[in-house]
Amino acid sequence: MTDISGLEPAATFCGNCNCGCPQLFVDPNAPAEQRIVLTDDFGQRIQMSADQFSSIVTDAKAGKLDGIALP
């Protein structure tokens, strides 16, 4: 898994298994455009700004992502 030392945990997604669920972190030492870190259970990570993450949250709250996980 990706090295997460120094990152502040914000949320864990899934949590129903012991398989390395995706997690959301804040990296207080990263440049502003890379401060939000999302890791997956395959050892990958995405870094984005707080504004970019806020846009995702806004879209989710507005229902724009509701159908994304449906078969």
Q: Is residue 42 part of a domain?
A: yes
- 14: domain range? 8-61
Each residue of 9-60: pLDDT tens digit? 999 887 676 677 899 999 999 999 999 999 988 889 999 999 999 999 999 9
pTM: 0.81
The total domain count for the chain is 1
**C-beta neighbour count of 14 within 10 angstroms:** 11
pLDDT value for 15 = 62
Alpha helices in 4-71, H assignment, sequence order:
50-61
Q: How far apart are CA 6 and CA 65, in angstroms?
A: 30
pLDDT value for 63 = 93
Q: Is residue 68 part of a domain?
A: no
Residue 66 one-letter amino acid: D
